[in-house]
Amino acid sequence: MIENYDSVDVFVGVDVDKGEHHAFALNRAGKVLFDKGLPNDEGKMRAVLQKLKQSGTVLVIVDQPATGEQGLMVALVRRLGV
């Protein structure tokens, strides 16, 4: 169960991989806001998330691969308050 689901404006799914992730974001109306590769680079990931935050409250779902590669993305999301 997602707390405060009704307050989410942007839904983001991130498929984490070692070299490059793939992120897909859409707003509550179903409009695609982002759908492309995302380098495993904190600055670039931060820029995308900050841009998405301009559309409102963001919910990020990060897959949990056995390799633990999701660490940077999860840490960044927490620091940004997403």
Give pLDDT tens digits for 2-37. 678 889 999 999 988 777 889 999 999 999 999 999
List Cα–Cα distances, 50 to 1, 22, 43, 69, 77, in angstroms.
Answer: 25, 17, 10, 21, 10
> What pLDDT, on a 0 to 100 scale, did the predictor assign at position 1?
63
> What pLDDT, on a 0 to 100 scale, did the predictor assign at position 27?
97
Which residue carries 């691969």 as its tokens? 65
List Cα–Cα distances, 63 to 2, 7, 13, 54, 78, in angstroms.
Answer: 16, 22, 8, 24, 15
| pLDDT tens by residue, 41-81 | 889 989 999 999 999 999 988 886 655 555 777 777 788 87
